[in-house]
């Protein structure tokens, strides 16, 4: 993919299509008026006011993601112009801009465009211009993503996808850092989407470890993969217990990025749930939609993806990624309801439902973060509970955190990445539901407040560290095609974590 900034004028740049942004602003009389991007205004003049006529005639209303195409008839070196709506000018945020550019780029790819240009940055928007440039590039790269490697007959448009993206910026402006960040964040997100979209017969725990090792080799990171004997020596009873029913061996992946080698230890430890297929085990799930359980490693994909972006951008910070990965399968050797498992930190958990396996593997990983990495700040990411989907739907991810500043930083990073989080309660009363008569903790507190009681279980394994738990169930996958994205993995949380890491490195 050829992605570049250009300072050329509208008369000089050529391509199959140009995407221009259009928002709505209030005039002096209070009436809504069309607000085109700087390049959009030049295009409108070159085409004799055609874009303004589309709005005046009611053919284009400027709503977020709305598209209108016009052909230049040789008046410009682009065959056509696509106007994309961005909504109210004063309310334009990264998410709206990102999705609008995703929608436009995706539409153009489906209709056979190979070379496109972006010109969606708006004067007077609440976002600074650098953030706008980053969002429009990210949006285009996320929008043209497809996962068709197993379809023999797949083509984009007339046989090829988009191969060149030019970003039109003003002369004298310097947005190279925005371009670099956008490409790194989008590539990392699409890498995570590939992992989640892979079929479970391909992406086994061993293959997930192989993919993590490839990232380590690409960016010269430290990588270690623990096998069963090493896990036994460490006492990882949760991960080993869940893996008992599977013929696929469990793995424990450790990645280190050392951007500040003069400092000892990690400034941040990321933990990702890596269940590469979840049948529910003995407490087996219904057959309907079980095939989507290949995505139960979306938390692992998110933290590996975040490290991918971090390593590409090289901030001065130390980050560790830990991924406990296994399948959860029913068999004669599977763990059972009624079992008691001992976690690495010595605490015991009474098993109630083998489909609540994520908290068991995360418990070992969090214990490892405290005991071996001496973590002071931990963020874990997991498709942990169906309860969070009941609470927040498919719009916002749940955020459980024991530190107000860390909560603030994650929500802020999410806002900049166009990803939403809502802080959920960790009140001590929820601990009553997970009290066990035969072990230190009971594995599940039942359906009431299930996402909160699951988080309370994880809290037992984070010691005195600042800790956040991101429950991304419902956010990791969309089950129907959207104008801005195909059905499948979203790569949710990759960009939020990367933005957080970059902000911490700059502070």
Q: Final residue of a domain: which of 170, 196, 220? A: 170
Residues 321 and 469 in one domain: yes
Q: Final residue of a domain: which of 147, 170, 193? A: 170
User: How far, in whole angstroms, is CA 216 from its chain's centroid?
Assistant: 19
Q: Residue 35 has what pLDDT?
A: 93
Question: What is the rounded CA–CA span in Å between residue 406 and residue 494?
Answer: 17
Residues 349 and 462 in one domain: yes
Residues 372 and 470 in one domain: yes
pLDDT in tens, 462-482: 999 999 999 999 999 999 889
- The lowest-confidence range among 35-49, 150-164, 244-258, 267-281 is 150-164
Residues 136 and 248 in one domain: no
Residues 134 and 248 in one domain: no
Question: What is the rounded CA–CA span in Å between residue 371 and residue 241?
Answer: 20
Averaged over 226-231, what is the pLDDT? 98
Give the start-end residues of each E strand in 368-494: 377-382, 397-401, 421-423, 441-442, 466-471, 477-478, 488-489
Residues 103 and 207 in one domain: no
Q: Residue 31 has what pLDDT?
A: 83
Averaged over 232-246, what is the pLDDT? 98
Question: What is the rounded CA–CA span in Å between residue 214 and residue 223?
Answer: 10
pLDDT in tens, 484-500: 999 999 999 999 999 99
DSSP secondary structure string for all residues of 259-277: S-TTS-S-SEEEEE-EEEE
Q: Residue 155 has what pLDDT?
A: 52
pLDDT in tens, 12-65: 999 999 999 999 998 766 688 899 999 999 999 999 999 999 999 999 999 999
What CATH code is carried by the domain that includes residue 275?
A: 3.40.630.10
Q: Residue 117 has what pLDDT?
A: 98
* Catalytic residue of the set 61, 285, 342, 423: 285
Looking at the domain assignment, is residue 246 inside a domain?
yes
| Catalytic annotation present for 359 | yes
Question: What is the rounded CA–CA span in Å between residue 233 and residue 102?
Answer: 48
Looking at the domain assignment, is residue 252 inside a domain?
yes
Asked whether the predicted pLDDT for residue 159 surpasses 70, the reply is no
Q: Residue 174 has what pLDDT?
A: 87
Mean pLDDT of the chain: 95
Looking at the domain assignment, is residue 178 inside a domain?
no
Residues 236 and 90 in one domain: no
Looking at the domain assignment, is residue 179 inside a domain?
no
pLDDT category of residue 502 using cuts at 50, 70 and 90: very high
Question: What is the rounded CA–CA span in Å between residue 156 and residue 186?
Answer: 20
Residues 161 and 66 in one domain: yes
Residues 129 and 268 in one domain: no
Looking at the domain assignment, is residue 11 inside a domain?
yes
| Catalytic annotation present for 285 | yes
pLDDT category of residue 226 using cuts at 50, 70 and 90: very high
Q: What angle do CA 167, 168, 173 make, to 5 degrees?
A: 105
Looking at the domain assignment, is residue 25 inside a domain?
yes
Averaged over 334-339, what is the pLDDT? 98
Looking at the domain assignment, is residue 177 inside a domain?
no
Residues 346 and 395 in one domain: yes
* Catalytic residue of the set 359, 442, 456, 495: 359
pLDDT category of residue 160 using cuts at 50, 70 and 90: low
Residues 230 and 164 in one domain: no
Averaged over 406-414, what is the pLDDT? 98
pLDDT in tens, 71-108: 999 999 999 999 999 999 999 999 999 999 999 999 99
What CATH code is carried by the domain that includes residue 43?
A: 3.40.220.10
Range of the domain at 93: 2-170
Total domain count for the chain? Answer: 2
10 Å CB burial of residue 237 (0-12, 13-18, 19+) is buried
pLDDT category of residue 154 using cuts at 50, 70 and 90: low
Q: Final residue of a domain: which of 170, 198, 228? A: 170
Averaged over 435-443, what is the pLDDT? 98
Give phi and psi for 214, each to the nearest 5. -65, -40
Looking at the domain assignment, is residue 286 inside a domain?
yes
pLDDT category of residue 152 using cuts at 50, 70 and 90: confident
pLDDT category of residue 329 using cuts at 50, 70 and 90: very high
Share of the chain above pLDDT 90, in %: 91
The answer to whether the pTM exceeds 0.85 is: yes
Averaged over 240-263, what is the pLDDT? 97
Q: Residue 157 has what pLDDT?
A: 44
Share of the chain above pLDDT 70, in %: 98
Asked whether the predicted pLDDT for residue 260 surpasses 80, the reply is yes
Question: What is the rounded CA–CA span in Å between residue 207 and residue 89?
Answer: 46
Residues 104 and 159 in one domain: yes
Q: Which two tokens stand for residue 157?
A: 């448009």
């Amino acid at each position: 993919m050829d992605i570049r900034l250009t300072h050329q004028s509208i008369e000089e740049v050529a391509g199959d299509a140009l995407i221009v942004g259009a928002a709505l602003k209030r005039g002096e009389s209070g009436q809504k008026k069309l607000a085109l991007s700087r390049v959009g205004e030049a295009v409108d003049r070159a085409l004799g006011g055609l874009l303004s006529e589309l709005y005046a005639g009611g053919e284009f209303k400027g709503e977020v993601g709305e598209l209108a195409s016009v052909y230049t008839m040789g008046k410009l070196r682009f065959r056509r112009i696509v106007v994309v709506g961005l909504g109210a000018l004063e309310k334009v945020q990264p998410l709206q801009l990102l999705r609008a550019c995703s929608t436009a780029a995706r539409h153009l790819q489906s209709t056979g465009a190979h070379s496109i240009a972006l010109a969606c940055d708006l004067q007077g928007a609440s976002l600074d211009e650098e953030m706008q440039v980053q969002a429009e590039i990210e949006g285009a790269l996320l929008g043209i993503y497809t996962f068709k490697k197993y379809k023999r007959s797949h083509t984009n448009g007339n046989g090829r996808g988009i191969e060149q993206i030019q970003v039109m910026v003003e002369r004298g402006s310097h947005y190279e850092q925005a371009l670099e960040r956008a490409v790194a964040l989008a590539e990392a997100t699409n890498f995570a989407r590939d992992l989640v979209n892979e079929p479970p017969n391909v992406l086994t725990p061993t293959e997930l470890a192989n993919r993590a090792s490839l990232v380590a080799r690409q960016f010269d990171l430290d990588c270690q993969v623990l096998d069963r004997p090493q896990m036994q020596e460490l006492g990882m009873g949760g991960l080993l217990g869940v893996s008992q029913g599977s013929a696929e061996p469990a793995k424990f992946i450790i990645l280190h990025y050392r951007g500040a080698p003069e400092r000892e230890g990690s400034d941040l430890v990321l933990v990702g749930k890596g269940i590469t297929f979840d049948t529910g085990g003995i407490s087996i799930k219904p057959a309907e939609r079980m095939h989507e359980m290949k995505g139960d490693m979306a938390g692992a994909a998110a933290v590996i993806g975040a490290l991918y972006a971090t390593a590409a951008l090289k901030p001065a910070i130390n980050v560790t990624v830990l991924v406990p990965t296994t399948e959860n399968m029913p068999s004669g050797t599977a763990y059972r309801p009624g079992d008691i498992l001992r976690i690495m930190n010595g605490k015991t958990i009474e098993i109630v439902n083998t489909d609540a396996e994520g908290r068991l593997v995360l418990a070992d990983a969090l214990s490892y973060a405290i005991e071996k990495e001496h973590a002071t700040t931990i963020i874990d990411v997991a498709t942990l509970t169906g309860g969070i989907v009941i609470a927040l739907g498919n719009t916002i991810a749940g955020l459980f955190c024991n530190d107000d500043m860390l909560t603030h930083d994650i929500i802020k990073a999410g806002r900049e990445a166009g990803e939403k989080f809502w802080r959920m309660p960790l009140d001590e009363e929820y601990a009553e539901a997970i009290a066990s008569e035969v072990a230190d903790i009971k594995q599940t507190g039942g359906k009431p407040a299930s996402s909160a009681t699951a988080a309370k279980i994880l809290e037992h394994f984070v010691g005195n560290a600042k800790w956040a738990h991101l429950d991304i169930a419902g956010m990791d996958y969309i089950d129907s095609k959207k104008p801005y994205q195909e059905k499948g993995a979203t790569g949710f949380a990759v960009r939020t974590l990367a933005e957080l890491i970059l902000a911490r490195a700059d502070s």
